[in-house]
């Protein structure tokens, strides 16, 4: 068991590659160990959204589970296989796996496996349009949860709410959504509460219930704020409800305006500004900056009314972006200045709060130390009082003893006879005489000592006079030396002042020369920048000419394959031309604003392949990055290939397609993900040995950028790159 625990810990740190998993499983001995290990890995794949890989390893692991004969393990695998099929929208296959699991489900089955089995049955019947069967299993699952863990019913109520919502049963849907919401809010698990909150708000949006949507919007903002997010960096003007749908932008904005009106009546200006900012973002995504500005102005005014500095900063940045898109550069500059001023205010406020916290902590610690000191002083005083009381008792005992001794002496003196008293008096007189003689001798000795002391004092005075004369001579010599030193120092100061004056003149002359050189350098720099812009402009024009020539040539070629190849070459040249166009038009000759460039590239490719929004919807999620030309050219060519391939091959059916482009910076790396919901890559395609020129070029550029490349299918084609070698401008 210890060996298995160690192996399992090592598996957690191994990269999820097929060959590595095979080698790990091969090193294990029992089918139970292999089944448990593969279950761990397939769960990891499911968390990453790689359902195909999860399905493959689930099949492998299920075989080992059957070999063990462990009913609990087999049922757990069948339920997981059902979950994978459900995620791949194959509800009948998902139900088949559940029927296989039913054989192994009994009263001895664990609560976790039994609950998952019942909930998956209910979800499958719901999607297959059998609400009665779904409700039957929802009820069984609810009863099981009530016996073991009533909180788990939040998932049951959430799924029932979604089912009644699909059936347009408003009252029952609201009842179940509210039950799920009440459970998760009381429990306080952020992930569960956040998920239910978003689904609940989506329900009220669908039914256009503005007042209740506004109530959930306020709660969502409090929920986000409780997570201690940095509002100076992350936007708060997007209340991410599950799906606003593909309805016209005007209807979305009108609903959010009604939500804002409800909040304004309640004097909740902060959340009203958030709702209006979401309406502005809808118009911005629809490329209507003028309408977006109208809502953003209202949003900014409300945030100022609520005195919310973080939101004012965020909305001022949005105003700057929209004004720039609308071509109102003067107003954009003013908005940028305001955003910077607000950022400074936020930083100062944060610093004041930190200082106040530190001061409060210091005062508390100081008071505690004073209390401890007073307590120690009190204890010391108590000990001193106790000591004084002890001394007082001792003094009383000593006085009593002295009184006793005096009484005893008095008695002894009284008992002496008269003869003894006389003898004692004679002895006393003799002692007095001896004492007088001793005092006389001592007086004679003191007179002799005084004479000796006077003689010694006279000799010491003569010695002092001699030493004083010697000291005066040394002092005169020192004064003469000081005068010489002072004269030398004066001449040194005069010489130093002269040198300093000459140095100042030389430095001034050098400064004048350097200033003239700086003027020349600045002029040359300005001329060089103009020259570089002109060069980029001419390169862009030349590439445009080449692109036009290739486009004309493609119309004259009868061979469709050759014509397509020339057209692809034209798009590649056009992607590089866009880079040079951004370099001279944005005023930044070294870097490329990635978001604008990719948007222009996708628009250019859409025009080239005659792609419209009703045919393919393109979702772009790009971080605000400014990359160097050497990084942007290969990255642009890679994006050109991936988007072109999606437009050409992915969407062959009549239903509208979706193309997602994500580029973000995480952990000092660039993460690029391009995915679609099309037909995907061919099943038998080997990425490493394919002869496709586009894929070869993508692999070559991935090597140049020191990037990992991952190509797989997940309800369509997915290409992911993790770029470690990139340079910001």
Select from 642, 628, 620 the least CA-distant residue to 593: 628
Mean pLDDT value across residues 595-611: 86
- Count of residues for the chain? 729
Mean pLDDT value across residues 223-248: 53
Confidence of residue 319 (pLDDT cuts 50, 70, 90): confident
Q: Is residue 711 within 8 Å of 721, Cβ to Cβ?
A: no
The yes-or-no verdict on residue 650 having pLDDT over 50 is: yes
For residues 378 and 509, the model is more confident at 509
Q: How confident is the model at residue 241, as a pLDDT?
A: 45
Helix (H) or strand (E) holding 166: helix 153-166
The pair phi, psi for residue 557, each rounded to 5°, is: -90, 125
Residue located via tokens 């305006």: 257
Q: How confident is the model at residue 47, as a pLDDT?
A: 85
Q: How confident is the model at residue 73, as a pLDDT?
A: 92
Q: How confident is the model at residue 4, as a pLDDT?
A: 41
Q: Is residue 577 within 8 Å of 714, Cβ to Cβ?
A: no
Between CA 92 and CA 102, with CA 96 as vertex, the angle to 5 degrees is 140
Mean pLDDT value across residues 323-351: 77
Q: Bridge-partner residues for 721, per DSSP?
A: 672, 709
- What value does the CA radius of gyration of the chain take, rounded to a whole number of Å? 47
Q: What is the DSSP string of 199-262?
A: HHHHHHHHTT-HHHHHHHHHHHHHHHHHTT--TTTS--S----S---SS-HHHHHHHHHHHHHH
Mean pLDDT value across residues 637-659: 83
For residues 294 and 277, give the distance between their C-alpha atoms in angstroms, rounded to a whole number: 10
The yes-or-no verdict on residue 503 having pLDDT over 70 is: yes
The pair phi, psi for residue 623, each rounded to 5°, is: -70, 155
Among 40-44, 557-561, 644-648, where is mean pLDDT lowest? Answer: 557-561
Longest Cα separation, the chain? 168
Q: How confident is the model at residue 124, as a pLDDT?
A: 94
Q: How confident is the model at residue 597, as a pLDDT?
A: 84
For residues 616 and 633, give the distance between their C-alpha atoms in angstroms, rounded to a whole number: 26
Mean pLDDT of the chain: 78
- Read off the pTM: 0.42
Three-state DSSP at 406 gives helix
For residues 728 and 91, the model is more confident at 91
- Residue 189 — left, alpha, or beta (φ > 0 → left; ψ -120 to 50 → alpha)? beta
Among 30-34, 196-200, 232-236, 477-481, where is mean pLDDT lowest? Answer: 232-236
For residues 433 and 406, give the distance between their C-alpha atoms in angstroms, rounded to a whole number: 30
For residues 415 and 319, the model is more confident at 319
312-316 LR contacts (CB < 8 Å, sep 24+): 312/342, 313/231, 313/232, 313/339, 313/342, 313/343, 313/346, 314/231, 314/232, 314/235, 314/236, 314/237, 315/237, 315/273, 315/277, 316/342
The yes-or-no verdict on residue 243 having pLDDT over 60 is: no
Residue located via tokens 């530190």: 358
The pair phi, psi for residue 583, each rounded to 5°, is: -65, -40
The yes-or-no verdict on residue 405 having pLDDT over 70 is: no
For residues 167 and 111, the model is more confident at 111
Per-domain residue ranges of the chain: 557-723
Give CA torsion, residues 225, 228, 229, 233, to 10 deg. 110
Q: Is residue 82 within 8 Å of 102, Cβ to Cβ?
A: no
Token pair recorded at residue 369: 């130390």
For residues 577 and 141, give the distance between their C-alpha atoms in angstroms, rounded to a whole number: 60
Helix (H) or strand (E) holding 26: helix 18-27
The yes-or-no verdict on residue 600 having pLDDT over 60 is: yes
For residues 679 and 695, give the distance between their C-alpha atoms in angstroms, rounded to a whole number: 17
Token pair recorded at residue 508: 């001034």
Q: Is residue 72 within 8 Å of 110, Cβ to Cβ?
A: yes
For residues 292 and 280, give the distance between their C-alpha atoms in angstroms, rounded to a whole number: 4
Q: Bridge-partner residues for 616, per DSSP?
A: 657
For residues 641 and 587, give the distance between their C-alpha atoms in angstroms, rounded to a whole number: 28
Question: Could you read off the pLDDT of 72-108 as tens digits, one per residue?
Answer: 999 999 999 999 999 989 999 999 999 999 999 999 8
Q: How confident is the model at residue 78, as a pLDDT?
A: 93
Q: What percent of the chain has pLDDT over 90?
A: 17
For residues 93 and 433, the model is more confident at 93
The yes-or-no verdict on residue 240 having pLDDT over 50 is: no
Q: What is the CATH code for 557-723?
A: 3.30.565.10
Token pair recorded at residue 404: 């006793």
The yes-or-no verdict on residue 401 having pLDDT over 70 is: no
The yes-or-no verdict on residue 521 having pLDDT over 50 is: yes
Q: Is residue 720 within 8 Å of 673, Cβ to Cβ?
A: yes
Q: How confident is the model at residue 81, as a pLDDT?
A: 94
The yes-or-no verdict on residue 415 having pLDDT over 50 is: no
Question: Could you read off the pLDDT of 461-488 as tens digits, one per residue?
Answer: 677 677 777 777 787 788 788 888 888 8
Between CA 565 and CA 575, with CA 639 as vertex, the angle to 5 degrees is 65
Among 256-265, 434-443, 615-624, where is mean pLDDT lowest? Answer: 434-443
CA neighbours closer than 13 Å in the CB half-sphere of residue 65:
24
Q: How confident is the model at residue 392, as a pLDDT?
A: 64
Q: Is residue 308 within 8 Å of 277, Cβ to Cβ?
A: no
Q: How confident is the model at residue 227, as a pLDDT?
A: 64
Mean pLDDT value across residues 131-144: 92
């Amino acid at each position: 068991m210890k060996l298995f625990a160690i192996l399992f810990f090592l598996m957690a740190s191994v990269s999820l590659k097929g060959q590595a998993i095979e080698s790990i499983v091969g090193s294990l001995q029992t089918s139970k160990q292999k089944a448990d290990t593969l279950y761990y890995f397939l769960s990891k794949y499911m968390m990453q959204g790689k359902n195909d890989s999860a399905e493959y390893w689930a099949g492998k692991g299920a075989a080992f589970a059957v070999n063990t004969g462990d009913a609990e393990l087999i049922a757990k695998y069948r339920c997981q296989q059902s979950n994978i099929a459900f995620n791949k929208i194959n509800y009948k296959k998902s139900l088949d796996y559940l029927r296989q699991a039913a054989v192994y489900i009994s009263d001895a089955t664990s609560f976790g496996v039994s609950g998952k089995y019942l909930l998956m049955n209910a979800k499958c019947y719901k999607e297959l349009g059998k609400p009665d069967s779904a409700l039957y299993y929802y009820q069984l699952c609810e009863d099981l949860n009530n016996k073991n863990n009533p909180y788990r019913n939040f998932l049951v109520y959430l799924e029932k709410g979604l089912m009644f919502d699909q059936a347009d049963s408003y009252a029952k849907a609201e009842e179940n959504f509210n039950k799920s919401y009440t459970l998760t809010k009381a429990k306080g698990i952020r992930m569960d509460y956040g998920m239910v909150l978003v689904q609940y708000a989506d329900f009220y949006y669908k039914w256009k219930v503005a007042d209740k949507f506004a109530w959930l919007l306020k709660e969502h903002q409090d929920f986000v704020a409780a997570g201690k997010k940095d509002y100076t960096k992350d936007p708060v003007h997007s209340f991410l409800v599950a799906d606003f749908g593909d309805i016209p932008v005007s209807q979305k904005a009108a609903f959010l305006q009604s939500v804002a009106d409800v909040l304004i009546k309640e004097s909740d200006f902060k959340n009203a500004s958030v709702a209006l900012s979401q309406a502005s973002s809808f118009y911005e995504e629809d490329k209507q900056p003028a309408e977006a500005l109208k809502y953003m102005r209202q949003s900014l005014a409300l945030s100022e009314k609520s005195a919310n500095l973080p939101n004012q900063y965020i909305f001022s940045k949005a105003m700057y972006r929209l004004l720039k898109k609308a071509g109102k550069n003067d107003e954009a500059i003013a908005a940028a200045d305001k955003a910077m001023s607000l950022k400074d205010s936020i930083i100062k406020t944060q610093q004041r709060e930190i200082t106040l916290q530190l001061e409060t902590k210091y005062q508390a610690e100081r008071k505690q130390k004073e209390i401890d000191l007073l307590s120690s002083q009190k204890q010391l005083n108590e000990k001193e009082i106790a000591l004084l009381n002890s001394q007082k008792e001792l003094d009383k005992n000593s006085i009593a003893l002295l009184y006793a001794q005096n009484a005893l002496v008095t008695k002894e003196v009284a008992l002496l006879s008269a003869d003894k008293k006389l003898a004692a008096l004679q002895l006393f007189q003799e002692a007095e005489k001896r004492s007088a003689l001793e005092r006389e001798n001592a007086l004679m000795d003191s007179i002799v000592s005084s004479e000796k002391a006077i003689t010694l004092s006279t000799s010491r005075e003569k010695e002092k006079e001699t030493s004083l004369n010697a000291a005066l001579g040394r002092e005169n010599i020192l004064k003469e030396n000081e005068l010489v030193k002072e004269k030398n120092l004066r001449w040194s100061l005069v010489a130093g002042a002269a040198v300093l004056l000459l140095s100042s003149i030389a430095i001034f002359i050098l400064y004048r020369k350097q200033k003239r050189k700086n003027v020349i350098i600045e002029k040359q720099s300005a001329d060089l920048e103009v020259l570089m812009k002109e060069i980029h402009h001419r390169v862009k024009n030349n590439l445009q000419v080449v692109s036009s020539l290739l486009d004309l040539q493609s119309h004259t070629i009868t061979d469709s394959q050759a014509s397509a190849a020339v057209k692809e070459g034209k798009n590649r040249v056009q992607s590089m031309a866009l880079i040079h166009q951004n370099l001279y038009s944005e005023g930044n000759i070294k870097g490329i604003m990635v978001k604008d460039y990719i948007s222009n590239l996708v628009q250019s490719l859409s025009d080239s392949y005659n792609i419209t929004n009703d045919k393919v919807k393109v979702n772009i999620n790009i971080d605000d990055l400014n990359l160097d030309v050497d990084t942007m050219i290969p990255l642009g060519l890679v994006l050109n290939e991936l988007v072109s391939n999606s437009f050409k091959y992915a969407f062959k059916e009549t239903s509208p397609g979706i193309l997602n482009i994500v580029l973000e910076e995480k952990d000092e790396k660039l993460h690029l993900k391009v995915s679609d919901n099309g037909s995907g890559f061919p099943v038998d395609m080997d990425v490493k040995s394919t002869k496709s020129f586009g894929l070869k070029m993508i692999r070559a550029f991935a090597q140049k950028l020191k990037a990992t490349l991952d190509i797989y299918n997940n309800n369509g084609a997915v290409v992911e790159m993790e770029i470690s070698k990139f340079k910001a401008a």
